[in-house]
Amino acid sequence: MTGNAEWIKRGEQVFVGTYSRFPAAMVKGRGCRLWDADGREYLDFLAGIAVCSLGHCHPAVTEAVCRQAGELMHVSNLFHTRPQIELAELLTQNSFADRVFMANSGAEANEAAIKLARIHAGEGRFEIISLSGSFHGRTLATVAATGQPKFHQGFEPLPEGFIHAGFGDPAALEELISDKTCAILCEPLQGESGVRPLEPEYLQAIRNLCDKHNLLLIFDEVQTGLGRTGTLFAHEQLGVTPDIMTLAKALGNGLPIGAMLTTDDIAASLGVGTHASTFGGNPVAAAGAVAVLKTMLAPGFLDQVRERSAYFMERLEEVAARFPHLATGVRGRGLLLGLVLTEKGCDLGMDIVNQLFARGVLINFAGGRVLRFIPPLIVEAEDIDLLIDRLVEVLNGC
């Protein structure tokens, strides 16, 4: 049987080199565990970058996908399909939204939101303000919206109409609003820049600015949505409702699917032919997403996420207290948590990640400052304890 080394060698000969990959070819997953081509087992606290929130090969999702693949895989959006309609009904019944546009990814969902904001505002109002440290995707428009210059380098000139406001300063944000502004775009919690939560007061101030200046508020919940922070959508626990919301990642538990949600009034601005997606919400991905939502909406599921979050945060705070020369504390919500590192710890961040990988534990280093933990939402206390034990082993050697 071909092992890691052979698969890696073959892959390096054929792929464009846009990824820095771990030296493992994953071949099987179950729950919070992965196995590579050499048969090695890993405890997964990365979850496909916040995607496999029900764990790998969740039985309900697997059954729904296999059943649908045997019935109907694709017809395009020139036709109605049952799984897509069921999914849109679940999303609207459990959110502020009345209407849904289906896409294939978070970047595509954000593109749809950007186009909707511009066409709804009308001619001359096209600027969108986002926040420094934000991440909204890898297409040219969503890269331009992303408030991290490192993602812009080499792709200039970027599409115009995107402005970045300093993080946490509503007054500075308001100074950027002009008669060209149509929307403010933000994540309720910035994941990629280092697990930085936006406090409720800050989000409410942004909401107030949108209302004052007749702007749309867009929440990018690609990473924070679908139970990740302990409620179905992160904004629910923050007391602020957007006009548009984008989802992806956990929606399909591994299948490519995204969604842009909004109200009847705003959705009316996107008429027939103004936007489209050949594969968006295809029957197989939509069937999987229906199973995901039904599982997450079952009684007790989100309660358990919050319980696991409290326990995990407590254990991480113990680590921070034990290693003050390496960590300053813990931040995040739900099961999107970060161990904030000191200057010395930051220098060792990737080394810590790699040492954990060598011990069979998967996490990542976000924003050059934080060890990020995004396990499947079905994670058990025993899994958290094992992660903590391995992390302490590594930090003891730093």
**Residue 2: its pLDDT value, please?**
86
Is 221 labelled as part of a ligand binding site?
yes
pLDDT at residue 253 above 80? yes
How many alpha carbons lie under 13 Å from residue 133 in its C-beta half-sphere?
18
364: β partners: 372
**Residue 1: its pLDDT value, please?**
64
Is 222 labelled as part of a ligand binding site?
yes
Q: Which amino acid is at 199?
A: E
How many alpha carbons lie under 13 Å from residue 101 in its C-beta half-sphere?
32
Please, where in the chain does CATH 3.90.1150.10 lie?
4-57+300-396
* Cα angle 242, 245, 250; round to 5: 135
Q: What is the DSSP string of 267-320?
A: HTTS-TTSS--SSTT-HHHHHHHHHHHHHHHSTTHHHHHHHHHHHHHHHHHHHH
Q: Is the Cβ–Cβ distance between 216 and 243 less than 8 Å?
A: yes
- Residue 265: what are its φ and ψ, rounded to 5°? -60, -45
Each residue of 196-236: pLDDT tens digit?
A: 999 999 999 999 999 999 999 999 999 999 999 999 999 99
| Distance in angstroms (rounded) separating the CA atoms of residues 3 and 167 | 46
Each residue of 154-179: pLDDT tens digit?
A: 999 999 999 999 999 999 999 999 99
Please, where in the chain does CATH 3.40.640.10 lie?
72-297
No. of helices (H) and no. of strands (E), the chain: 14, 17
How many alpha carbons lie under 13 Å from residue 83 in its C-beta half-sphere?
30
Assigned token pair, 163: 């402005």
Instruction: Specify the fold of 72-297.
Output: Aspartate Aminotransferase; domain 2 (3.40.640)
Whole-structure pTM over 0.95, yes or no?
yes
Which residues, other chains included, contact 99 with Cβ-Cβ below 8 Å and sequence gap of 6+?
A: 92, 261, 262, 263, 264, 267
Is 178 labelled as part of a ligand binding site?
no
Each residue of 264-295: pLDDT tens digit?
A: 999 999 999 999 999 999 999 999 999 999 99
Domain at 4-57+300-396, CATH class: alpha beta
337: β partners: 332, 373
Three-class DSSP category at 209: helix
Is 277 labelled as part of a ligand binding site?
yes
pLDDT band at 41 (very low <50, low <70, confident <90, very high): very high
How many alpha carbons lie under 13 Å from residue 109 in its C-beta half-sphere?
29
Is 262 labelled as part of a ligand binding site?
no
Is 361 labelled as part of a ligand binding site?
no
| Distance in angstroms (rounded) separating the CA atoms of residues 86 and 272 | 21
